[in-house]
Structure 1
């Protein structure tokens, strides 16, 4: 597939000292009774504080399944790894959204072949028309002549085997990404 060959990958993101400090402070604030770990409920509160949403049962189950059986919850190091991964995913999603918006010059919420052609003409003027058409057809999952953000997002993530390079933290990805 074109996008996977083009190397659409999230970049490794360096955590600033102030960001790291904030994450540690959130961990400590959510660690009720200073146990040294976050319980399931503590983790949910920490995610709300850092990301502004309550994690789903699936996400919480995934994270808790990655916990060492010898501990009763998520230790600071594990929490920092999870937060780093979530932040990288968030930044990558924003990057994909930005690219889609740049292609969607008429603000319709979908891309046409004309949008693709104009965008490719700007970044790769010598690319043959047949390649642009082939890419468009491949990305247009339902063959309706429109590429939705969902189609575009899927194409940008196609073939990603490393969970840290997927757009979403799917169940079990915290487990495999932190091992």
Structure 2
């Protein structure tokens, strides 16, 4: 995505106290037998409860491989960090989609060079057209290579 190439980072986001409390409650509800950690299956249930989807095998594998090998599952602190990062990524993607939609005036699902130029003129009017063209071509080339 463009932001990673430009070196920008999504803004950090902090959960409200009520949201943090909800995450802790979900952890406790999914921690069968009050063992102090979430197993792989417990984690999947927690994600469904918080985000409304069942994580893929790849996502579950990734999370479980990141867990301290000296523990039997995901501790509360790790769970809260995972949930915060997922929420932050979700909000960032939503923000990017919102910005894109604002510039996709013809509702095509893509931006033409003219759309791109108009967008940059609105948000960065002093940016040279040469740079705008270079960014557009780079993104277009990268997109074609992904296909």
Per the normalisation by structure 1, the TM-score is 0.74
Instruction: Give the unaligned 5+ runs of structure 2.
Output: none
1:81–1:3 distance in 2 versus 1, CA, 3 Å:
closer
Higher relative contact order (CA 8 A, sep 6+): 1
How far apart, CA to CA, are the structure 2 residues paired with 1:28 and 1:143?
Answer: 43
Contact 2:14 2:84 in 1 (8 A): no
CA distance in 2, matches of 1:27, 1:88: 19
**CA RMSD across the alignment:** 2.1
SS in 1 for 2:82: helix
Instruction: Provide closer, same or farther for how the CA distance between residues 64 and 4 of structure 1 changes in structure 2, counting only shifts above 3 A.
Output: closer
Residue 130 of structure 1: aligned partner:
130
Specify which structure has the higher proportion of strand. Answer: 1
**Mapping of residues 17-166 of structure 1, within 5 Å:** 17-141=17-141
Deviation at 1:130, TM superposition (A): 1.9
Q: Deviations over 1:26-70 (max 9, x none)?
A: 000001111111010000000000011111111111111122222
Query: Higher helix share goes to which structure?
Result: 2
Structure 1 stretches of 4+ with a deviation exceeding 4 A read 2-7
**Structure 1: which 5+ runs fail to align?**
145-149, 151-179
